[in-house]
A and B are shown apart, each in its own frame.
Chain A
Amino acid sequence: MKIAVCIKRVPVMDVRFTIAPDGTTINEAGLKFDVNDFDLWAVEAALQLKEKAGEGEVVIVALGPPAAEEQIRKALSMGADRAIRLDAARVPPDGVAIARALAEELRGGGYDLILFGRVAVDSSNGVVGPVVAGLLDLPCVTAVSKLDIKGDRGTAQRELEGAQEIVQFPLPAVLTIDEGLNKERLPTLKGIMAAKKKPLVVKPASLGSSLVSVRRLELPPDRVGGRIVGEGVAAVPELVRLLQTEAKVL
């Protein structure tokens, strides 16, 4: 089973972001980066499928700057076999443009499955996976939270608002992975050492022009919270009064 997993380098969100003087980018100084959460679950899914099949190859594909090789190495240290970085100084805000560059690399790769995370936690778009599927004319299931592959057929579960869909599809296919499918493994020391020697090929990303541009970035207004009504059960009547008369939600 040959599986490609497309991953993205994203900032760790546990910080207060600031906007660069140009007004359209985020200051990157001091930020930490990691593999997008959902992409880690996609890597884990690929590794488990390969292990279950008893043979195969897991190929990491990432579009991004040289610094993204740190995240690529992390995926390799989890157990992926090799990697391709499509070199782009910046990841554009146009999901279709990103998908075009990835599709060009993935086309003809002979993959049984191409996996993505459901969404990148930075750009929050969730479009690249299904657009790649469209460009390659492959079956696609998005937001997969359960997965069963038997031969050249698969069954996946998707979470909807208050319901689940059970979806059947043929391979080869493109899947985007949601939370809940698995818990990613931590790289072992042995894995980290091995990853340093695994092949990582760099190619130019053929991004073309972008139809989406960032006009400006803004910080949302701070919430003015912090009012403590009281302590313990004794504060309940006052809370209810405030919900009725001030917030008017009761």
Chain B
Amino acid sequence: MANMANALVFCETREGALRKVALEALTAARKLLDSGGGAGGGGDVHALLVGAPGISSHASRLADHGADMVLVAEHAAFAQYNPEATAALVADRTRAGGYRVLLVSSSAQGRDLAPRVAAKLACAIATDATSVTLESDAIIVSHPINTGKIIATLALEGTPAVVALRPGAVPPREQPRPVQMQHIEPVGDPSAARVVVAELKQGSRTQLDLGEAPVIVSGGRGLKAADNFRLVEELASAFGNAAVGATRAVTDDGWRPHSDQIGQTGRVVSPDLYIAVGISGAIQHLAGMRTSKTIVAINRDRDAPIFKVADYGIVGDALEIVPALTAAVRAARGSH
């Protein structure tokens, strides 16, 4: 048992709802412990749930995804993400439990939490990891740098190490375990935190997030006017499982909110299908979508760089082509 390495997974929730990225992180933890020719010794995955009373209801779903033990910390002051109290709790638990590695998601919440915990543990940290494995003396992560133009393989020394996993990098997999749950106490008083999330403004609940949508339809300056984004939205709605993205040029012009921006300074996405409408394919934009599985480009300029990365291109006026594509997608889906 001396070589047994266990992993702790911080399972992200928002307003009491479990996030899909939590299941991805659990799956990655299981793979990590089983990697490296037994360096992990097939150790245990422990899931940590932090939330308002009642958050423990997610325990069975976590066990279904490979959690050998679900640790639950419930407190009214955890109803919203509580960065300071959560970091104190996660760091304390990671240290006390002697875990080899702490996994979180490289989501907005996880990217906030992971470094806070690493500061407390004075340990190695890597964020935006696309894979993570275990060797006898190091945690090895793949981490895209320089806007995805280079893939770095990093070695993290020391125990524990903190790794934040890129959303979507590891698809969640069911690997059921018996539900084992243990309640744990917060560290200090969570209601005394200095930094307080006073309000959460949810976007439309029917609208899929860019990070979770299997299909993304994005628009650029080639749409010519903010109003024409309606065509992009209609195409997205024809797919039924699509989110709408935009280029930096478009968000800078205020056609769309900054949160829709895909690219070097915005979101990095890799959906199954990415449709670039009226997008020339500036480096800044390609950095955010080049790992999409299938890319479609619609642009009037045959020499636009977007066509060099697109699996399928149509040359022509997006304002004419997109409505026709919308109708064809509706028809295709209707006939299923």
Partner of A163, one of B84, B125, B195, B203: B203
Given contacts A131-B118, A214-B154, A217-B151, whether A142 and B112 have CB atoms under 8 Å apart is yes
**Which B residues touch A93, using CB under 8 A?**
152, 154
Given contacts A123-B145, A217-B151, A249-B294, whether A237 and B198 have CB atoms under 8 Å apart is no
Partner of A228, one of B209, B215, B307: B307
A220 touches B149 (CB 8 A): yes
Q: Which of A151-172 contact B (CB under 8 A)?
A: 155, 158-170
A124 touches B14 (CB 8 A): no
Q: Chain A interface: which of B41-49, B175-183, B218-226, B257-265?
A: B257-265
Nearest chain A residue, comparing its CB with the CB of B336: A250
Q: Does A229 sit within 8 A of B, measured CB to CB?
A: yes
A125 touches B203 (CB 8 A): no
B119 touches A236 (CB 8 A): no
Q: Does A149 sit within 8 A of B, measured CB to CB?
A: no
A233 touches B320 (CB 8 A): yes
A169 touches B146 (CB 8 A): no
Q: Contact size class for B?
A: 35 or more
**Which A residues touch B73, using CB under 8 A?**
none
Chain B interface mostly:
mixed
A13 touches B320 (CB 8 A): no
Q: Within the assembled complex, what's the spacing in Å between the Cα atoms of A159 and B107?
A: 11
Q: Within the assembled complex, what's the spacing in Å between the Cα atoms of A197 and B229?
A: 49
**Which B residues touch A167, using CB under 8 A?**
195-198
Q: Does A90 sit within 8 A of B, measured CB to CB?
A: no
Q: Which of A41-61 contact B (CB under 8 A)?
A: none
B200 touches A213 (CB 8 A): no
B111 touches A142 (CB 8 A): yes
Q: Does B333 sit within 8 A of A, measured CB to CB?
A: yes
A125-162 contact mask (Cβ, 8 Å, vs B): 1 or 0: 11111110111000111110100000000010011111
A250 touches B329 (CB 8 A): yes
B282-297 contact mask (Cβ, 8 Å, vs A): 1 or 0: 0110010011011110
A249 touches B272 (CB 8 A): yes
How far in angstroms is the closest Cβ of chain A from B260?
A: 10
Q: Does A179 sit within 8 A of B, measured CB to CB?
A: yes
Q: Which of B270-309 contact A (CB under 8 A)?
A: 272-273, 283-284, 287, 290-291, 293-296, 302, 307-309
Q: Chain A interface: which of B24-32, B59-67, B92-100, B310-318?
A: B310-318
Q: Chain B interface: which of A73-81, A105-113, A186-194, A238-246?
A: A238-246
Q: Does B170 sit within 8 A of A, measured CB to CB?
A: no
A11 touches B146 (CB 8 A): yes
Number of interface residues of A (CB under 8 A): 83
B296 touches A158 (CB 8 A): no
Q: Within the assembled complex, what's the spacing in Å between the Cα atoms of A74 and B23?
A: 44
**Which A residues touch B173, using CB under 8 A?**
none
Q: Does B108 sit within 8 A of A, measured CB to CB?
A: yes
B193-207 contact mask (Cβ, 8 Å, vs A): 1 or 0: 011111111110001
Residues on B lying within 8 angstroms of A by beta carbon are: 14, 80-81, 83-84, 87, 107-109, 111-112, 114-116, 118-120, 122-128, 140, 143-158, 161, 167, 194-203, 207-212, 214-215, 239, 251-252, 258-259, 261, 264-266, 272-273, 283-284, 287, 290-291, 293-296, 302, 307-317, 320-321, 324-325, 328-329, 332-333
Residues on A lying within 8 angstroms of B by beta carbon are: 11, 13-14, 16-17, 19, 26, 37-38, 93-96, 99, 121-131, 133-135, 139-143, 145, 155, 158-170, 178-180, 183, 211-220, 223, 225-233, 235-237, 239-240, 242-244, 247, 249-250
Known: A163-B203, A219-B150. 12 other contacts (CB 8 A): A131-B118, A139-B194, A139-B195, A159-B259, A162-B209, A212-B125, A215-B154, A223-B290, A225-B311, A232-B315, A243-B312, A249-B294
The 8 closest A-B pairs by CB, nearest first: A134-B119, A180-B258, A211-B124, A127-B115, A232-B316, A130-B115, A162-B209, A166-B199
The 19 sampled A-B contact pairs (Cβ below 8 Å) are A13-B284, A14-B283, A37-B264, A96-B119, A121-B264, A124-B143, A125-B128, A133-B116, A141-B195, A160-B107, A163-B202, A167-B195, A179-B265, A217-B152, A226-B308, A228-B302, A228-B315, A236-B328, A239-B296
